Amino acid sequence: MPSSYNRLNDTYSCENDVTLNKELKDYMGFRGFVMSDWGGTHSTTQAADSGLDQEMPSGNFFGQVGSYPDLIRMGFGRNFVLLFRVFQLWSITP
């Protein structure tokens, strides 16, 4: 599922915890992954904590496209939410 480049209530869509985590993943039960619109990612931990799974296309904030292991090596592994997101991604991989 792609997130958009736009802001919703002054929060970038890729960093919007309400729309990505609470509404899409919790309320609607979406079990897939969310990728950013091209250039739509504006942070690392806020975007990951808010439910973004993959940055497109360059990896300016998430390292190489979809590289959570790189984030862990950079020290973000102490963030429990990010580790939870990694395990979530592994659980939906066929």
CA distance 18 to 38: 21
Helix or strand (DSSP H, E) at 11: strand 11-12
Q: Where are the alpha helices (DSSP H) in the chain?
A: 17, 45-49, 68-73, 80-92
Determine which one of 26, 37, 53, 70 is catalytic. Answer: 37
37 labelled catalytic: yes
Catalytic machinery residues: 37
